[in-house]
Structure 1
């Protein structure tokens, strides 16, 4: 690369690093945010509600793609960058200032979700623009590799976020960090905002956009042209339903769901889980460029299809292996003394109650709630009479929560359940730090993350090559952000809701696996190879 070419990539990428830093803070601080803004509901519902708040940012991404995509196609790539980064930066800063639920009540979660949606609006116009800007500077035979550097910024934004959070956790301690220290990463982002705006101001407009405008070939109505003409709408549908869903679930499973699984299910201490994920992310980050270069050599479609297939086949075995190496005592207990809830199915409800108004008092609901709060996996079996929990050969009788002696029965049930679990070898606290096989966990996370690196650079390059210059910003950004929102952004909340409904801690993985399988089949049938496309066509 020449010095000018390097400046293009660095300038576009640094601003994107900051935007992803902002966006990832919500996911990494989910537990603290749940306590601050959703303390009015029970802890399980509060955590899922926070994950829905994380997903709320994705709801506005498709709208941001249309609004800022149109602006990028009409006015230019550079000026659109400035607007999106200001929106993202200011809303992130304000999150750090919002009072807690205890102070202002329901206004707190409303304000949080509103700011999160503004972040999503901004990101909807940011990432596609950065990819397009770099691609329109890149040599045709290195386009995917160059985009790999921009895609790499998603991982770097994650690393920057955890790089700020971990020192704060260590220096402040658990109590102060949960009370107020979690706000600092949001507040210091205003410094990064100033740096990013300065960097964006130094950018020149993309040569492809300048050429198109000089020749008078720009679109006067990019939204109408993108969605009103079947040849363009057909490509948007292929992108939104065939290519991006697989890329989204594969990437978010590795980057986010793995962390939630380690901490919430396997009880690995949060700092340890963060450090392991940081190492795996840093090791896998160069693969974005490696697989981008491979896509330049053999084609976009074979590379992202390889990522979909490998993720579909290996995700479930990898998460089982994470259990074995992160919490071996739990893995042994699950194998030797599986837990079974025996109950009348008519008594069992789906216990998701984010507003905290419903009560669950049947014996089935009482015992499944007790097992779920311990973070343990269980099977269900139909039976009659009051529900029971079977741990290996031991059986603990449940109780109905609306009986006159419910408090006495609860104390008895919890005492007997914990005794049965302890006798079967179940760890009831955090995973034993001395028993965690950290090198193996890093290796497993590295493999899991590598599936995302296979899909990301190749698929985003294919997307931008599918559309002509005059509507590229709009037509690429909308399907990318729509499917990232619905399939990727809702993955943590959807997966944990499935786990809560089934009792099987691995059942949530069937969501990303199913989407990856469907994406592989649909892409094989409908997506065309775009390598060698002349992107200067108007």
Structure 2
């Protein structure tokens, strides 16, 4: 069998051809990830439009659950489009994926709110998120393989680094569009209908992406396979029966994707949620700072990709994962102390203690029909307000701040349908008023410039950790698998890892935070996944200079 990672016998693509390949693939990837991320960037508006009848904690959890649903269907998309990509070709497969993504994203913007069509609204949105997940399952593998198979072997990490950078570019574009939307429309208009504009913009981005991608030719590697009769008969089945491939899939899932995806979502989405939520920093300030730092960090992925061409793919990933285990908690502690130092100081000076029987909270109580205990209701309110607390068992419910008891009004505890919302509002107002009198600051935070610069520096470090574990991955994964089953073999572990380990991260981390009352507790999920992945990477990835599949025994 010929070396199918190289170009067919004709001339290699020219410099201008490769530039077009990178530009078209990267632009499409930016637009497709924009479509996927705009949902998370506009989480608060989506919650109010499609999940209006539940409390704030459950509302944001339901939004993140919808976010996770899209990721949950990425592996199915990887199987479906991976099969087509290995059987029918790389080019037309990711033309289909970008079209499906653009149309389903616009559909979210056109879905009537729950007030108009009731339960159909969230069901339609979840259905559209499923379509987005299917599309994304085919997009990354197609774009990464397409660029890799056009690239000279010695520059494969550099060229595919632009694809990795484009994922961040989609996130940056979503923030830019949201900020422009906020600049053009009033808060009332945004809440009423203008939040839908970014979703509808996807139709214009789809047109641009299709125009660029239709200019491309098929991958030279796929053309070579066609010429030599090496196209796989059933790439999905062969991905699990090809000698040694199951081991490679395991390593790609946990030792590569599990690491990079949890670090990526922690660096960008967890920091966004952390600063906007428990730290109470003004939403526009957060979006500007994160958008600028993400824009700067886009270059890191290309730099790391080029570095991996020299030192191999394993070293940057292992360094990034190990550094994350050491730095993750200190970075977020530092970000918290800069973003809202008053909250940190007040929590230390006047610790909040909640005592009582059945003293635990359940963020999904509204859905399950379970009623929270009075103690659990206090915990729910403190969690939603971003206040850390300590729980103690006791026969009677009590709340103390710095040792001083806080009077608990019976009006706070009603849980019948007619009075629950009023009770929730009264409890929140009463607790925050009592804590404010003891030094807690619940106002919107506008950190001074020096603090914002410190937050930006921390975000850039998180971006660098993400780049170390992500920059050379497209080249890494394409080199791990044989060409006839490459689209399927790399897409399946990548999208299982990214879909479940990473895509469920905002939901899992938010749930852990809600159950513990600790804004930092959700980071343990990232830490555990990265720690396991690091062990797998050290064991399973080959070191040394980059090598294509088949150049050694692995």
Query: How is 1:291-330 mapped onto 2 (pairs within 5 angstroms)?
Result: 291-330=304-343
- Return the match for 1:243 from 256, 259, 268: 256
- Give the structure 2 partner of residue 366 of structure 1: 377
> Which ranges in structure 1 are unaligned for 5 or more consecutive residues?
none
- Give the structure 2 partner of residue 455 of structure 1: 469
Inter-CA distance 435–15: structure 2 relative to 1 (3 Å threshold): closer
Q: Could you say what secondary structure the match of 2:110 adopts?
A: coil
Q: Could you say what secondary structure the match of 1:367 adopts?
A: helix
Structure-1 separation of matches of 2:448 and 2:476: 46
Inter-CA distance 241–415: structure 2 relative to 1 (3 Å threshold): closer
Structure-2 separation of matches of 1:412 and 1:460: 52
1:174 aligns with 2:174: no
- Return the match for 2:369 from 357, 368, 386: 357
- Return the match for 1:152 from 154, 158, 165: 165
1:254 aligns with 2:270: no
Structure-2 separation of matches of 1:513 and 1:249: 9
Inter-CA distance 530–457: structure 2 relative to 1 (3 Å threshold): farther
Deviation at 1:241, TM superposition (A): 2.3
Structure-2 separation of matches of 1:409 and 1:36: 22
- Return the match for 1:386 from 375, 388, 396: 396
Structure-2 separation of matches of 1:130 and 1:181: 32
- Give the structure 1 partner of residue 478 of structure 2: 464
Deviation at 1:11, TM superposition (A): 1.3
Deviates more, 1:313-322 or 1:330-339: 330-339
Conserved 8 A contact 2:256-2:537: yes
Conserved 8 A contact 1:19-1:88: yes
Query: How is 1:174-323 mapped onto 2 (pairs within 5 angstroms)?
Result: 174-229=187-242, 231-323=244-336
- Return the match for 2:51 from 4, 24, 38: 38
Conserved 8 A contact 1:246-1:515: yes
Structure-2 separation of matches of 1:94 and 1:73: 30
Deviation at 1:322, TM superposition (A): 1.0
Deviation at 1:242, TM superposition (A): 2.3
Deviation at 1:27, TM superposition (A): 0.5
Inter-CA distance 397–130: structure 2 relative to 1 (3 Å threshold): same
TM-score normalized by structure 2?
A: 0.92
The total of aligned residue pairs comes to 533
Deviation at 1:40, TM superposition (A): 2.2
Deviates more, 1:205-214 or 1:95-104: 205-214
Deviation at 1:535, TM superposition (A): 5.2
Q: Could you say what secondary structure the match of 2:459 adopts?
A: helix
Q: Could you say what secondary structure the match of 1:443 adopts?
A: helix
Deviates more, 1:388-397 or 1:252-261: 388-397
Conserved 8 A contact 2:101-2:132: yes
1:27 aligns with 2:40: yes
- Return the match for 1:479 from 471, 483, 493: 493
Q: What is the CA deviation profile of residues 447-475 of structure 1, one whole-angstrom value per residue up to 9, with x for unaligned ones?
A: 11111111112233222111000000000
Conserved 8 A contact 1:46-1:354: no
Structure-1 separation of matches of 2:455 and 2:109: 33
1:500 aligns with 2:514: yes
Deviation at 1:68, TM superposition (A): 0.5
- Give the structure 1 partner of residue 11 of structure 2: none
Deviation at 1:381, TM superposition (A): 2.2
- Give the structure 2 partner of residue 126 of structure 1: 139
Structure-2 separation of matches of 1:3 and 1:409: 65
- Give the structure 2 partner of residue 71 of structure 1: 84
Conserved 8 A contact 1:396-1:416: no
1:109 aligns with 2:119: no
- Give the structure 2 partner of residue 85 of structure 1: 98
Q: Could you say what secondary structure the match of 2:367 adopts?
A: coil
- Return the match for 1:430 from 424, 433, 444: 444
Deviation at 1:306, TM superposition (A): 1.0
> Which ranges in structure 2 are unaligned for 5 or more consecutive residues?
1-13
Conserved 8 A contact 1:42-1:356: no
RMSD: 2.2
Structure-1 separation of matches of 2:415 and 2:508: 33
Structure-2 separation of matches of 1:295 and 1:213: 31
Conserved 8 A contact 1:399-1:409: no
Deviation at 1:533, TM superposition (A): 1.8
Structure-2 separation of matches of 1:424 and 1:190: 51
Structure-2 separation of matches of 1:267 and 1:63: 38
Deviation at 1:226, TM superposition (A): 0.6
Q: Could you say what secondary structure the match of 2:277 adopts?
A: helix
Conserved 8 A contact 1:18-1:196: yes
Structure-1 separation of matches of 2:311 and 2:166: 24
Inter-CA distance 124–448: structure 2 relative to 1 (3 Å threshold): same
Inter-CA distance 60–426: structure 2 relative to 1 (3 Å threshold): same
Deviation at 1:530, TM superposition (A): 7.4
Deviation at 1:343, TM superposition (A): 2.4
Structure-2 separation of matches of 1:270 and 1:402: 32
Structure-2 separation of matches of 1:196 and 1:412: 50
Deviates more, 1:158-167 or 1:109-118: 158-167
- Return the match for 2:360 from 348, 356, 367: 348
